[in-house]
Amino acid sequence: MQKTLALLALTLWAVAALAQPPVAGTLTVAGKPIPLTQVYAWRTDGFFDKKKDDTVVLLADRPVAAADQRDPFALRRLAAEGKLCFVREIINADGQIVSFTIGHRAFRIPPSGGSTEHVFEGRHEGQTISGKVHTRGVQESFDDIKYEYVATFHATVQPKK
């Protein structure tokens, strides 16, 4: 009986874990919230330290074609056309965001670069990355458009190409 209960508890726990979405979050641009529903992650050469790999995390409001996921120019084009909203971050081995890009049709010049105002609170474990990313409050683009985001996610990290 105890084995049956233990197996049932383990099964329920596994089902609950699988039911959790891989990403739950919101990108807010000019006061309008956009749900972030997709997450993709992959390794890349270190941004500052070429001896250590960084991890790129792409959070998006809809599925992104495999050919476009790793192409920053395609992502920006899709955002400019109103076909995609996204947050793309490069996270180093120490868990710091070393580069970010925000994609949304409202931006003439997409916010990007490096900033301590963009935060990753999470961990890399083997071939996965999980945690929370967010801005430290409302940010303002060069176009004077206010934006912010917050998302929790869990993703399998794909290898470098």
What number is the average pLDDT over the span 67-76? 97
**Measured distance CA(92)–CA(70) in Å, rounded:** 17
Q: Does residue 7 carry a pLDDT above 80?
A: no
State whether residue 13 is helix, strand or coil: helix
**pLDDT tens figures, 13-43:** 343 333 445 999 999 999 999 999 999 999 9
Using alpha carbons only, give the angle 128, 77, 112 rounded to the nearest 5 degrees.
60
Sole residue written with tokens 């699988």: 18
How high is the pLDDT of residue 122?
95
Task: Count each helix (H run) and each strand (E run) in the chain, helices first.
Answer: 3, 11
Buried b (16+ CB within 10 A) or exposed e, 69-88: bbeeeebbebbeeeebbbbb
* One-letter identity of residue 136: R
How high is the pLDDT of residue 68?
97
**pLDDT tens figures, 111-134:** 999 989 999 999 988 899 999 999
The model's pTM is 0.86
How high is the pLDDT of residue 49?
84
